[in-house]
């Protein structure tokens, strides 16, 4: 990979910056990148102490670097204010805060959300280095920005250097669809993504019978990226690059989705990815239909920024025994491990709750989830 004189000098420093350059150069060489390109924004995932552990914490401490571009970070393992209520113990909280302080010292904004695009919306064609598969697929597909599916470490390296290797989805022709997916019924997008992700190879372009909302596109992408190695999709007549390429001849038709979940939920969770303002309002409207309080543990997750803008909705939900947590989620927090079976509407949570938290899962639409919490029988 071609490096400028300045970039070569960074490699020779023998410090945290040179380590970050080494990571980017190694990545660029593996994927045949021509050179590095500047980015405007990095988003780093894997910041829960549950994921990083002591070894990661020590590595980060020793790095001693600062970020050269706007850098946001993914959810941590707890709500920073309400961790006791979540059942998080003191020692975990201490380690989590230590970790977040290292990121803060490096210059990260402690956004602690997987929906950084609600805070800072990248523009069409903008180059990013984002980890967090649900955010990557949203940025590429819905916003037309350009990012590969980075790991937490490569996104951090890019944040320090302010650049990323030019390969993959940074190059227009690599964003072309490979397979047309004709969707014949009105499936919930999250479950469609969850099922289709593992069944297709390459980039899908969907044909739906109706227009999807941004929240539905978000849910479709999160589901797709959780079960498949997908980082971009297109939707005919809807997403910004759908007509930049030929429609592929390979085609599948989806007219049936079989789901095989079966357990009796002791908790209900929503907000994977973190809830938008509209999604919080939808939950509020549904909860209003029920008298009394939630009868099952009902946890919902959103970002601090959405929470702060939706104070009245949050207060109402809290008064109905719906816990609205920020900074974390059901998947990255160890708090979820106490449950036997969790009901969720999220394709991503259906994939990762069993794998990472050892919890059984059952799918419900957003409406099913509210009903299950308020009127369980
Ligand atoms: Fe976000 Fe956690 Fe789901 S980080 S996408 S809410 S697994």
Q: Which fold has domain 267-374?
A: Aconitase; domain 3 (3.30.499)
Omega before residue 193 within 30° of 0, cis? no
With 70 as the cut, is the pLDDT of residue 368 above it? yes
Crossing angle, helix 311-319 and helix 277-287, to 10 degrees? 40
Q: What separation in angstroms does the CA of 299 have from each of 80, 248, 318, 373?
A: 15, 41, 10, 10
Cα(8) to centroid(ligand 1), Å: 37
Cα(34) to centroid(ligand 1), Å: 33
Cα(273) to centroid(ligand 1), Å: 5
pLDDT, position 256:
86
Q: Can you give the length of the chain in residues?
A: 377
Q: Where in the chain is the domain with CATH 3.30.499.10?
A: 267-374
Going by pLDDT thresholds of 50, 70 and 90, the confidence category of residue 260 is confident
- Which of 348, 350, 355, 357 has most ligand 1 atoms within 8 Å of its beta carbon, as the pocket-test mutant? 348
Nearest protein CA to atom 7 of ligand 1, as residue: 331
Question: Do β-strands 41-44 and 360-363 pair in parallel, antiparallel, or remain unpaired?
Answer: unpaired
- DSSP letter, residue 356: I
**Structure confidence by residue, pLDDT tens digits, 56-86:** 999 999 999 999 999 999 999 999 999 999 9
Beta sheet of 341-344, edge-to-edge order = 322-326, 297-302, 267-275, 341-344, 360-363
Query: Residues 305-320: what's their mean pLDDT?
Result: 98
Query: Which two tokens mark 330?
Result: 């059901």
Report the C-alpha gap between 265 and 369 in whole angstroms: 10
- Which of 47, 76, 79, 114 has most ligand 1 atoms within 8 Å of its beta carbon, as the pocket-test mutant? 114
Regarding the beta carbon of 219 and ligand 1, being less than 6 Å apart is answered: no
pTM exceeding 0.75: yes
**Structure confidence by residue, pLDDT tens digits, 178-191:** 999 999 999 999 99
CB 273 within 8 A of CB 193: no
- Which residue would you say has higher pLDDT here, 365 or 261? 365
Burial 272-288 (b: 16+ CB within 10 A, else e): bbbbbbebbebbbebbe
With 80 as the cut, is the pLDDT of residue 13 above it? yes
Nearest protein CA to atom 2 of ligand 1, as residue: 329
Q: What separation in angstroms does the CA of 323 have from each of 86, 293, 313?
A: 9, 11, 12
Query: Residues 235-250: what's their mean pLDDT?
Result: 97
Integer distance in angstroms from the first to the last C-alpha of the chain? 62
pLDDT, position 257:
87
With 90 as the cut, is the pLDDT of residue 376 above it? no
Query: Residues 297-318: what's their mean pLDDT?
Result: 98
What number of other Cβ atoms are within 10 A of residue 134's Cβ?
A: 26
Residue range 5-167 forms a domain whose CATH class is alpha beta
Sign of the dihedral defined by the CA atoms of residues 113, 169, 203, 145, in that order: positive
Query: Which two tokens mark 139?
Result: 């940025």
Nearest protein CA to atom 6 of ligand 1, as residue: 272
With 70 as the cut, is the pLDDT of residue 270 above it? yes
pLDDT, position 275:
98
């Amino acid at each position: 990979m071609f490096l400028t004189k300045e970039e070569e000098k960074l490699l020779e420093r023998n410090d945290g910056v040179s380590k970050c350059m080494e990571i980017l150069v190694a990545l660029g060489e593996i994927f045949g990148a021509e050179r590095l390109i500047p980015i405007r924004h990095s988003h780093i995932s894997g910041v829960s102490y549950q994921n990083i552990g002591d070894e990661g914490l020590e590595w980060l401490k020793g790095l001693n670097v600062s970020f050269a571009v706007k850098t946001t970070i993914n959810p941590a393992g707890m709500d920073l204010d309400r961790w006791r209520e979540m059942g998080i113990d003191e020692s975990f909280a201490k380690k989590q805060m230590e970790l977040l302080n290292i990121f803060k010292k490096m210059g990260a904004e402690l956004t602690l959300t997987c929906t950084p695009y609600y805070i800072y919306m990248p523009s069409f064609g903008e180059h990013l280095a984002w980890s967090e598969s649900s955010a990557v697929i949203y940025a590429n597909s819905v916003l037309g920005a350009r990012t590969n599916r980075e790991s937490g470490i490569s996104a951090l390296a890019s944040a320090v250097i302010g650049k990323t290797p030019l390969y993959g989805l940074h190059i227009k022709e690599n964003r072309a669809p490979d397979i047309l997916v004709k969707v014949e019924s009105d499936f919930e997008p999250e479950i469609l993504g969850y099922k289709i992700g593992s069944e297709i190879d390459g980039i899908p372009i969907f044909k739906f019978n109706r227009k999807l909302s941004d929240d539905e596109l978000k849910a479709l992408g999160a589901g797709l990226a959780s079960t498949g190695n997908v980082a971009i999709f297109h939707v005919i007549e809807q997403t910004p690059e759908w007509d930049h390429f030929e429609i592929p001849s390979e085609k599948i038709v989806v007219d049936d989705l079989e789901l095989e979940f079966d357990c009796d939920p002791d908790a209900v969770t929503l907000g994977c990815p973190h809830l938008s303002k509209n999604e919080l309002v939808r939950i509020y409207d549904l909860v209003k239909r029920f008298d009394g309080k939630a009868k099952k543990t009902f946890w919902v997750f959103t970002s601090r920024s959405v929470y702060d803008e939706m104070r009245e909705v949050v207060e109402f939900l809290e008064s109905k025994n719906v816990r609205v947590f920020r900074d974390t989620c059901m998947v990255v927090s160890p708090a979820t491990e106490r449950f036997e079976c969790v009901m969720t509407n999220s394709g991503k949570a259906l994939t990762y709750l069993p794998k990472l938290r050892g919890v059984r899962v059952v799918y419900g639409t957003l409406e099913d989830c509210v009903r299950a919490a308020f009127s369980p029988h």
